[in-house]
Chain A
């Protein structure tokens, strides 16, 4: 009994501080946002403590008052964010998967160096890296000058401030997020299983679909989720590379809090992002559980 009590005390000692920290600094602000999203915006900013469901109505279609009208543009921005985040996941997966395969087959020394290279961008400020992309993509940038130099185009192409630029930028930023979980599951892949598949009559393509892909699925799902979540709420990449043309939900939330000073509406938008992410996690858990059985 004495032992059990000591264990409990140990656990409290170890977990107490982080639990309190998470409660105060993570759950606290989230709860505040949830409550605010059901309040009425104050006339000079802030909130009035009057219940209102119209913040959600403005996004989803039932608000029809003088000040608070439903506007399909909000839902449009939300859907565009989902689309851009989804495409970012796809492109970073397409880049990271072969790279992870290649790196996992290297000699240990070169492998460590390659992984270091993948994580290298973390050491440079995100803003600096994104403005470097502006220099590359703008009409008088390196890319357009190169293309015009070799005569592929006579007029500069509008790369910047497009969906393309935003997807490119987010892919670039989130490749390490996709790469590391992928690498984890690809490195664990037993080469003998590939030989066994081939031995049992499968071509390389069949082996890929039936053995390699299912065996590395945990890495694909893990990498996709931790790429999708920050992509969906991202506002730095679209504001630098997307400008005013490619507005994502993150930019909209930022505007509501900082420029429009409509905190309840900003909170409602943020809750929509949260809901989308939670839905995704629930689906993933369901799939994972079915995979186990």
Chain B
């Protein structure tokens, strides 16, 4: 079975790259290829310019934060964090200094003597991070480290992880299936599906101008509308059209829900009329599902204002024609 195929990924030093994809897409396998727990049938892994493909896991200059932390239950926090240094044969004073440095970095000052089983999930997460960083790896691999934490703690840890990465200036490869997490933390995101990298780019490019339908659909909410292109004009099913430089005859228009609004914009625009089928209020905005005659369901995100949309009412929404993104693929 082929878990990964034709994957090429290059990290700048001190870059935060996220491998994002649905479960079973091969992102964890890719991580394990880098750490040395999976062997490659073909290809190479290079770290700092040196090939480590044939190097066993324990000699590679990378460390991993495991999904369920994999802390050593029979050791204290200090021995867990100092494990890499202990193995490397450092003297006790060096280890003690480094351990307290690391615990300070992750916000667990003075917890050296605690037993791992006495810690909360968030604290165990921090110990796992400190343990992986103590040996000064050139690259840190993180395998869905935040998936076991509750939402508030997860957001806090996201910010802390990012801050720690910036402070240390080493590369992080972060695996997640949570797109929001990927968007907020990463310098670049590699979207994986079916063992291949679908697209790799900075978060804003991935979100605003995805290269293919998978990325568009996987990242965020999207309305994907088929368009026909003729002579530099793309036309929708209901006859509305806008200018484009796309050379194909058929393509798909990506319309993010937040691009739609109640106000009529100046200049060229697209308009969608229909009946409101569902609305959800989420505090700062309303999520609206609009049933249109020409396109079926169109989803929109409207800023909360004076008028609350009501189910069953008729509504017309507009999107400025500038900033529309065409994907050179046809949805099935």
Q: Which of A's residues lie within 8 Å of B, judged by CB?
A: 190, 192-193, 195-203, 206, 210-211, 214-215, 217, 291
Contact = CB atoms under 8 A, between A and B. Distances in A.
Interface stretch (B62-70, B237-245, B285-293): B62-70
A292 to B, nearest CB: 8
Interface stretch (B82-90, B196-204, B218-226, B322-330): B82-90
Interface in B53-75: 56-59, 62-64, 66-68, 70-75
Contact of B72 (A193, A198, A291): A193
Contact of A196 (B62, B64, B74, B86): B64
A201 B66 contact: no
A215 B35 contact: no
> Which one of A193, A199, A210 has the greatest number of beta carbons of chain B within 10 Å?
A199
A202 B84 CA distance: 8
B131 interface: yes
Given A200-B87, A201-B58, A201-B135, A195 B63 contact: no
Given A190-B70, A196-B66, A197-B72, 4 more contacts: A193-B71, A199-B58, A200-B131, A201-B135
A201 B84 contact: yes
A190 B131 CA distance: 17
A200 to B, nearest CB: 4
Interface string B24-67: 00000000000101000000000000000000111100111011
B63 A200 contact: yes
Nearest to A214: B74
A199 B72 contact: no
Nearest to A199: B64
A202 B131 CA distance: 13
19 contacts: A192-B67, A192-B68, A193-B70, A193-B72, A195-B37, A195-B57, A196-B131, A197-B83, A198-B58, A199-B35, A199-B37, A199-B64, A200-B63, A200-B131, A201-B58, A201-B59, A201-B84, A201-B88, A202-B58
A238 B62 CA distance: 57
A200 B74 contact: no
Interface of B: 35, 37, 56-59, 62-64, 66-68, 70-75, 83-84, 86-88, 131-132, 135
A201 B68 CA distance: 19
Given A200-B87, A201-B135, A215 B72 contact: yes
Nearest to A206: B87
Contacts of B131: 196, 200
A201 B89 CA distance: 11
Contacts of B74: 214-215, 217, 291
Given A200-B135, A202-B58, A192 B88 contact: no
> Which one of A200, A203, A206 has the greatest number of beta carbons of chain B within 10 Å?
A200
Nearest to B75: A214
A215 B73 contact: yes
A1 B86 CA distance: 57
> Which 8 A-B residue pairs are closest in the complex by CB-CB distance?
A192-B70, A196-B70, A200-B84, A201-B87, A214-B74, A198-B58, A202-B87, A198-B57
A248 to B, nearest CB: 36
B278 to A, nearest CB: 43
Contacts of A217: 74
Nearest to A195: B37
A199 B57 contact: yes
A182 B32 CA distance: 30
A186 to B, nearest CB: 14
A57 B14 CA distance: 78
A198 B68 CA distance: 16
B59 A195 contact: no
Nearest to A292: B115
Nearest to A200: B84
A211 B83 CA distance: 10
A202 to B, nearest CB: 5
Nearest to A201: B87
A187 to B, nearest CB: 15
B37 A200 contact: no
A255 to B, nearest CB: 46
B70 A200 contact: no
Given A201-B58, A201-B84, A195 B72 contact: no
A93 B35 CA distance: 34
Nearest to B131: A200
Contacts of B88: 201
A208 to B, nearest CB: 13
Contacts of B68: 192
A216 to B, nearest CB: 10
A198 B86 CA distance: 13
Contacts of A214: 74-75
> Which one of B67, B71, B86, B87 has the greatest number of beta carbons of chain A within 10 Å?
B87
B45 to A, nearest CB: 15
Contact of A195 (B62, B70, B73, B84): B70
Contacts of A291: 74
